[in-house]
Amino acid sequence: MPVERVTPDLSGLGQGFRCSRGEFVTYWRQGRIQREINARISQCWVLRCEDSLAGYVTLIADKLDLDQPILIDEGVQYQTFPAIKIGLLAADKRAKGAGRRLVEWSIEYVASEIAPAIGVRFLTVDALYDEDMTPPYDASGFYQKFGFCFVNAEEVLPPSTPYRTMYLDLKPLIDLFDDSTSGAEDGSTV
């Protein structure tokens, strides 16, 4: 199914949206996402099934702060790096696989469309952790399936914030897209 950028035409979607976390229904229905798009501080993409919203994801600019310089082998001493963050992600509980599709699309989109235009290497997310649920609600297991790592792997649970920040290194994928782009541009076979 195609992932589509939210436009005013799509803003009527989501009346029957059902998510395991009610606040993500509210973010959509009460206009928080549309307000952030209008304010140009977020962009949102959706997956839909005919006229029903199956899921949404927002992407925002971010900065990844690490406690060590992980790119020393590449001659880069920094501990802070440019990144794109998955801001809000939600899937309708009836739309199996919608969350995976939106994350995989985000990874590919950032690596193929954003990274060639500006320096950005990492995808980040604040993985929701809700200790008030029994057992605690922990979204990090979902992101680990795509290879995301914890910024603070030693953090004791429950975390001091209602989330744990994670990151994914996109360089292998960025390089792959860059090779195929340069091949296409100079007319050589990819």
Residues forming contacts to ligand COA in the complex (CB under 6 A) are: 19-21, 24, 89-91, 96-100, 125, 127-128, 138-139, 141-142, 145
In the complex, minimum distance from the CB of residue 77 to ligand COA, in angstroms, rounded to a whole number? 31
What is the C-alpha separation between 104 and 39, in angstroms, rounded?
Answer: 26
Name the residue number minimizing CB distance to ligand COA.
99
CA distances 122 to 8, 108, 173, 182, Å, are 30, 12, 11, 22
Measured at the alpha carbon of residue 53, what is the angle toward residues 45 and 170, in degrees to the nearest 5?
Answer: 30
Q: Which is nearer to ligand COA, 125 or 174 (CB)?
A: 125
Q: Which is nearer to ligand COA, 95 or 120 (CB)?
A: 95
User: How many helices and strands (H and E) does the chain possess?
Assistant: 5, 8
Q: Which is nearer to ligand COA, 123 or 128 (CB)?
A: 128
**SS3 per-residue string spanning 58-113:** EEEEEEEECCCCCCHHHCCCCCEEEEEEEEEEEECCCCCCHHHHHHHHHHHHHHHH
In the complex, minimum distance from the CB of residue 164 to ligand COA, in angstroms, rounded to a whole number? 9
In the complex, minimum distance from the CB of residue 93 to ligand COA, in angstroms, rounded to a whole number? 7
In the complex, minimum distance from the CB of residue 162 to ligand COA, in angstroms, rounded to a whole number? 10
In the complex, minimum distance from the CB of residue 181 to ligand COA, in angstroms, rounded to a whole number? 29
Q: Which is nearer to ligand COA, 168 or 174 (CB)?
A: 168
Specify the 3-state DSSP secondary structure of 34.
helix
Q: Which is nearer to ligand COA, 121 or 164 (CB)?
A: 164
Q: Is residue 33 within 8 Å of residue 13, measured between CB atoms? A: no
